[in-house]
Every structure is written in C-alpha cells, then in structure tokens.
Chain A
Amino acid sequence: MSTHHHHDHDHDHHDHAHPTQPDIDGPLTYHQKLEIAIRELMIEKGILSADEVRRTVEAMDARSPAGGAKVVARAWNDPAYKQLLMSDPSKALNQVGVEVGLYKLVVVENTDKVHNLVVCTLCSCYPRAVLGLPPDWYKSRAYRSRAVREPRQVMAEFGLEVPDDTTVRVHDSTADMRYLVLPKRPKGTEGWSEEKLAAIVTRDTMIGVAEARAS
C-alpha cells in the first residue's frame, strides 16, 4: 500500500498515512442479494414489516455477555443454583430472567484439574443467548482450525498458560448444543456481591480463552 494518497482536490495533508474507508463496499454476494430479495418480497406481501426486521436485528445486536456473567456470578455465590445451572441450564437461565434462545445450552465447569475451551470448527455456533454476538476472531479460520488442534498454544497467544497437570477439554460445537464455560472463581473474591462478581466475568472467560481475575 502506498504511504501517500493523491487527491485531485485541496485537502489538509497530514505527514502520516491514514487508513481510508472505501465509499462503496464492493459488489453484493449471492447470499446478500438473496437475503435482500426475500426480505423485500416478504415486506411487499405484508408477511413482515421493515420495522419488525429492524427491531429483530436491534434485539440480536443488543444481546451481550451480561446474561452469561449474571448466571456465572450467581453460581459462584449459590451452590444450589450452580447445581441447577450444571444439570438444567434452561431452567437456571429462566430463573434469573435470561432468555434461553433456540438452542440447548451445556455448561462446562473449569476447575483446578480441568480447563474447557469452546470452538465451532464447522461454522461459528456460539451461545448467543448468554454471550451476545461472537467476536470476530471466534469466526476466523485460524481460531476454528487451531483451537481443536493446538488449544494450548492458542490459549497461550491469548495470554493464558494452562499447566500440564490441568486437562484441556475442547468442545466443538458442531450440532445442536451451545457451550458456556463456567470459569473458576478467582481467589480474593470471597464475600463479593453478585453484581461485583458479574463485573469480572468477561466474554472471553466464558469461551475459555481467559481466566476471571479479581482485579
């Protein structure tokens, strides 16, 4: 890429190169065209309204890891709730008002002996109901292919060294289950409220590429 852009108009020139956002995103793909065609047809036929489509997209985008953090924090503070979360995640989510979504959730617990990591090698299945939209790296080919084959190296690149006496269990989310990692409760959090605990339960700790930390 050149470090200097030529413009045919007067412009404030900086002496550093700056990234530009192209005005046009490029041609639509086959599936983008298909989606637009079907959406417009359904709106035209009165099956859906444009506002319903917009609201649904908005609701999907609004989901966040807060739902997951809430159930993890409660499980840390309440052994009975933790048992329920492990044995019947849908019921446990319902209890705290987190929408379960379309798929069955499986909760896998990190302990001193076992560390869990979630991936979807076939596409990008992700527990959206509890974590919201997946991060871009989760959908990348590099993560999807390497997380199954060299999970310890991948986690090390995220800054997490899992000791050899801890078993690493990778979960490939290939079909109808979605996986949520229940991270280990860090030391130094004794007596913390559920809200305070939820704040340290980040997205990455519930995918398994990080551990929760007290600070």
Chain B
Amino acid sequence: MTPARFQPGDRVKVMKADVPGHLRTPWYIRGHEGEVERICGFFANPEELAFNRHGLPKRALYRVRFAQKKVWPDYAGPAGDTIDVEIYEHWLERA
C-alpha cells in the first residue's frame, strides 16, 4: 500500500477513459475537475474484486467535490451547489 497521492484541498481531474469492466467511476463525472474533500481510506480495488481477484494492493479512495454548474452546463440551481463522488486514486490525475 503506497501512501495517498492527493490531500484534501488538492485539485484533481478524473480520467476520461472508456474501459470495460466493473467500474465505480460514473460516466457523467469522467473528464471533470474537482477538489479532494477527504481521503476515505484504502480499499481493495473493486474493479478486480468483481472478477474474483484479490484487488491488492489496496488503493486510496477519495471523495472529490465538483461544482454542479461545471458538470451539467444546463444546471438550474445556484453556482455553489456541489456533487461529491467517491473516486479511486488510479482514476485521478493532478489538475
């Protein structure tokens, strides 16, 4: 297990990848930039667990906060509204 690469407050970008498998990164958030809200902990990789593999080493899981107006250009609410999504480290790059 390597230490978490990102810290709360860091700006990150979600990879825009279209790969097959059991993914926990929702389509709508791929390619978007947000801010790390917290490190949730380290977990076996669910993309591997789904295929009965051990999913080790454990991966850092983050809660990343995104501005709704950026995610949905037609978002009708105020600019401050946010969406938080849990994203595994291997889906994130520094923004």
Contact = CB atoms under 8 A, between A and B. Distances in A.
A177 B63 contact: yes
Contacts of A203: none
A45 B84 CA distance: 45
Contacts of B86: 172-177
Nearest to B46: A175
Interface in A89-148: 104, 106, 121-122, 148
A164 B84 CA distance: 19
Nearest to A171: B84
B87 A169 contact: no
A193 interface: no
B17 to A, nearest CB: 15
User: Would you list the 3 A-B pairs with minimal beta carbon distance, nearest first?
Assistant: A175-B86, A175-B24, A167-B80
A167 B40 contact: no
Contact of B83 (A106, A153, A170, A177): A170
Interface of A: 104, 106, 121-122, 148-153, 164-165, 167-177
Contacts of A150: 75-77
Contacts of B25: 174
B43 A175 contact: yes
Contacts, number: 77
B21 interface: no
Contacts of A104: 40-41
Given A104-B40, A167-B78, A177-B40, A122 B24 contact: yes
Contacts of A174: 24-26, 85-87
A67 B86 CA distance: 25
A210 to B, nearest CB: 18
B81 interface: yes
B81 A151 contact: yes
Contacts of A164: 77-78
Nearest to B29: A172
B65 to A, nearest CB: 8
26 contacts: A121-B26, A122-B26, A148-B28, A148-B83, A149-B72, A151-B77, A151-B81, A152-B81, A164-B77, A169-B81, A170-B81, A170-B83, A170-B84, A171-B83, A172-B29, A172-B84, A173-B86, A174-B24, A174-B25, A174-B85, A174-B86, A175-B24, A175-B43, A176-B43, A176-B46, A177-B61
Nearest to A119: B83
B6 interface: no
A172 B26 contact: yes
A147 to B, nearest CB: 10
A172 B41 CA distance: 17
A77 to B, nearest CB: 27
A105 B92 CA distance: 23
Contacts of B40: 104, 106, 175-177
